[in-house]
A and B are shown apart, each in its own frame.
Chain A
Amino acid sequence: MEKPLTKDIVANDPPLNLKDFRKVGGYAGTIKALKEMTPAEVTSLVKDSNLLGRGGAGFSTGMKWSMVPMDENSRPKYLICNADEMEPGTFKDRYLMEGNPHQLIAGIIVASYAIQAQKAYIFLRWAYKKAEVVLKKAIAEAYEAGYLGKNILGTGYDLDVVIHTSAGRYICGEETALLNSLEGKRAIPRTKPPFAVTVGLFGRPSVVNNVETLSWISHIAENGADWFKGLSLTGTGGTKLFGVSGKVKNPGLWELPLGITVRELLEEHAGGMLDGYGFRGLLPGGASTDFIIEEHLDTKMDFHTLSEVGSRLGTGTMIILDDKTCPVAFLQNVERFFALESCGFCTPCREGLPWIEKMLAAIESGNGKMEYLDILKAQKKYLALGNTFCAHAPGAAEPLQSGLNYFYDDFVRHINEKKCPWKS
């Protein structure tokens, strides 16, 4: 089984430097793209590969690039690497950046070339200190070797890469909020349209791609669209970094083909539940995805298959709810996060999420009322896309609604017994 993204990452070892990365074939795709392909050919190839964005939304990467204006007046343009990983339960981009920074830079160069950007920013999460050190060193090496800067590899193409470390706040991961933050402003999402591909950073055409997405680009340029498609079991294209956290025997992160089943991931790779712990449900792709339960375990981990059972692939890193963790406390934790991280710009999100958290806290502490459950259920409508400015609050509503649905009896027990049954 091929593991293109992680094959050169050795746990606890420092990442490959440029020289060693070149020895294992690194930058080959970058050289091929810049020397043998036109920007339009690169975009077309990535479109054909059906690479879907790995940041959570799953939008076609090549499609996004193809919407960038390519005429003479379109410059300056920007490529932005979204490295603001902060979705609770998600730990994949950190691994890729710390483990193989040159793979990411190699991809950033090709992506920037495809849209003819002369500047790329890596928007890096504040807390990822090790990734910052590793990336800075790798970027310096890339400049020295002529992969970055003026006239890259003698092709006449110029590109500068700048790391911008953030100052906190989950909302910075939202594409247009990220652009505002990168401009030195409060990270508040922008009205769409216009989309970033035409009016983005500093009002210029911009593409924002996730770390895992960009880490693929050089590989696809080197090996082609059919190779990429062949890596998945479902034809979607590619492997995916999948993670499991919670009370399992072997929590961790694995690169596996898209289309393996949830059960395979949970039981074979994560080793199943820890002795003494029973399985109740899981969020398949971070905190803003809907719960799935036992009956869904044979679902394939892919973009469209998880939608069929009412959830999303999201970031592909799952959080397991065990039978010794109170589902109400689990949801209260998740909703407190979303309430705290709301940017406060639109009313349903700013006002709605704290109320949800207060109600869950009341239920958890034995002060809940049955009518709260109806109020919580109704939030799905108020926090739906269209009523809010961005996907933050709709994302917060996903685990809440499915949690209410699957663990309804547990909510009722809290209210009837006037205490959390999980607390003695």
Chain B
Amino acid sequence: MLTEEEKNEIEEEIRNYPYRAVACIDALKIVQQHRGWVSDESVKDIAHYLGMANEEVDGVATFYSRIYRKPVGKNVILICDGVSCMIMGYESLYEYISGKIGIRFGETTADGLFTLLPISCLGDCDHAPAMIINNDHFNGLTVKKIDELLDKYK
């Protein structure tokens, strides 16, 4: 079931568009904002609420890389794997982070604290390597900076 708060937020988005189904992506994002991810149940609830077929909403949900169809950790670390970040050494930073928290791309730590994912070019190529943790953007990354960030987000 969608909560009243989620419904209200979805209605806010619908006001910007000529018909309800247009808000499909917004609705997926709103649910994810509240619950961390989008379950099969939520897909059905959104479909029902917007007057769409379940499969249609699922098709949209699985298309977009920032909609999570599996639970993620409390903090989602998105490491830029663009070519400029590759030249500037993101791969060794990835290995460092991965070694430190004990997970590879696509995995979540057993304590549910971190999920590690790659992300396409973050548009910060002149300050590479770059990454995002939750909604915060970081650049010019070094091992020292990563140590500080992992501590901060614990």
Contact = CB atoms under 8 A, between A and B. Distances in A.
Interface in A229-264: 243-247, 251-253
B121 A88 contact: yes
B25 A184 contact: yes
Contacts, number: 132
A144 interface: no
B125 A86 contact: no
A140 interface: no
B18 A91 contact: no
Interface in B10-39: 16-18, 21-26, 28-29
Contact of B81 (A243, A320, A333): A333
A325 B126 CA distance: 17
Contacts of B23: 184
A260 B48 CA distance: 56
B122 to A, nearest CB: 6
Interface string B38-68: 0000000000000000000001100111110
Interface stretch (B83-91, B95-103, B145-153): B83-91
Given A127-B119, A333-B81, A168 B125 contact: no
Given A167-B64, A184-B23, A128 B86 contact: no
A317 interface: yes
B83 A186 contact: no
Contacts of B121: 86-90, 287, 337
Nearest to A129: B135
B125 A89 contact: yes
A124 to B, nearest CB: 12
Interface string A72-88: 00000000000001111
B151 to A, nearest CB: 22
A419 interface: no
Q: Which of B26, B66, B87, B124 has the most CB of A within 10 A?
A: B87
A183 interface: yes
A184 B125 contact: no
B125 A251 contact: yes
A139 interface: no
B87 to A, nearest CB: 5
A91 B125 contact: yes
B61 to A, nearest CB: 9
Given A86-B120, A187-B63, A251-B126, A127 B132 contact: yes
B120 A337 contact: yes
Q: Which of B16, B18, B63, B81 has the most CB of A within 10 A?
A: B63
A252 B126 contact: yes
Nearest to A399: B83
Interface residues of A, number: 54
Contacts of A325: 86-87
A125 B132 CA distance: 14
B119 A253 contact: no
B87 A91 contact: no
Contacts of B125: 88-91, 243, 245, 251, 317, 319
A10 interface: no
B64 A319 contact: no
Contacts of B122: 127
Nearest to A95: B123
Contacts of A164: 16, 26
B60 A185 contact: yes
Contacts of B18: 202
A70 interface: no
A369 interface: no
B16 A126 contact: no
Contacts of A343: 63
Given A127-B132, A245-B125, A319-B125, A168 B83 contact: no
A246 B132 CA distance: 20
B25 A181 contact: yes
A330 B85 CA distance: 11
A129 B75 CA distance: 16
A169 B25 contact: no
A182 B25 CA distance: 9
B79 interface: no
Contacts of A317: 125
A169 B64 contact: yes
Contacts of A88: 82-84, 120-121, 125
A90 B126 contact: no
Contacts of B123: 85-86, 90-91, 93-94, 125, 127-128
A333 B26 CA distance: 31
Interface in A260-287: 287
Given A86-B120, A127-B122, A187-B63, 15 more contacts: A88-B120, A88-B125, A127-B137, A162-B16, A167-B67, A183-B22, A251-B125, A251-B127, A251-B128, A287-B121, A333-B82, A333-B86, A337-B121, A341-B120, A343-B63
16 contacts: A88-B84, A88-B120, A90-B121, A127-B78, A127-B123, A127-B132, A166-B64, A167-B28, A168-B67, A184-B26, A186-B63, A202-B22, A245-B128, A246-B88, A287-B82, A334-B83
The 8 closest A-B pairs by CB, nearest first: A245-B125, A184-B24, A167-B64, A168-B65, A168-B66, A251-B126, A88-B121, A245-B84
